[in-house]
Homo-oligomer: A and B are copies of this chain.
Amino acid sequence: MANSDQSSDPTVQLREYVARGGYGPGAKLPPERKLTDDLGLSRSTLRKALDVLEREGVIWRHVGRGTFVSQDTEVEPPDALVDLGRKLTPFRMMRARVAIEPAIAREAAINASAEDIAQMEMAQQAAYSAETWRAYEKQDDLLHRAVAEAADNPLLLYLFDQLNQVRRAVAMGNVTRRTARPSREHVSFAEHEVLVAAIRNHDPQAAYEAMRTHLRSVSARLFEVG
């Protein structure tokens, strides 16, 4: 069924292919070679159209795996952030976290309100009872953001959020986990305890150190030369 779409614009053609093909969110599109056949386009032209759709956030690509339709719920971060995430190495991303987040934790220790601390403890508890790594990571995110909120500085919170968006855009490759689900003995739990305790005691230096230690340990586990 080659060249079934009449439109001359390859992007429109591809869009219609996706729409008419009934590919829901998360569905895997055919490989590029098949798409070139179906649409009657060369690979270069097809890839340019795919680039457009990817920039718009309609699809999502990954080498070796394929091309997928995005979940339509997610909001698309600005181009600049996506670009940054694409060319930033995971190492540099972690390096930035180690530089920035301890400074924020220090401010949090100074300014944290009772509610802020309650928020952190809640995330901590939820992390403990997380059944999957995915759920754990979500709570980990929430804990770190609660710390940023506790700093009581909209600018710092904004910068933290920017950092986080880039973090999510960075391709982390295969993070291999040793266990099926987070265990109680997972090092991060203890490190989080220390961090929250320091903030609870309004001890800026301790909070700074705790966050720094925690992120360095995460970093070490990520990049260990196994």
Report which A residues bind B (CB closer than 8 A). Answer: 9, 44, 55, 78-80, 84, 87-88, 92-93, 95-96, 99-100, 102-104, 106-107, 151, 153-156, 158-159, 162-163, 166
Contact = CB atoms under 8 A, between A and B. Distances in A.
Nearest to A102: B103
Main secondary structure of the interface of A (DSSP, over half): helix
A224 to B, nearest CB: 21
A99 B162 contact: no
Indicate how many identical chains form the complex. Answer: 2
Contacts of A92: 153-155
A220 B143 CA distance: 33
Given A154-B84, A166-B155, A103 B99 contact: yes
Interface centre among A78, A92, A102 (most CB of B within 10 A): A92
A210 to B, nearest CB: 16
Given A84-B154, A95-B153, A103-B103, 20 more contacts: A55-B79, A80-B158, A84-B155, A88-B155, A92-B153, A92-B154, A92-B155, A96-B153, A96-B155, A96-B159, A99-B104, A99-B106, A99-B107, A99-B153, A100-B100, A100-B156, A102-B103, A158-B166, A159-B162, A159-B163
A78 B93 CA distance: 24
A79 B95 CA distance: 29
Contacts of A158: 80, 84, 162, 166
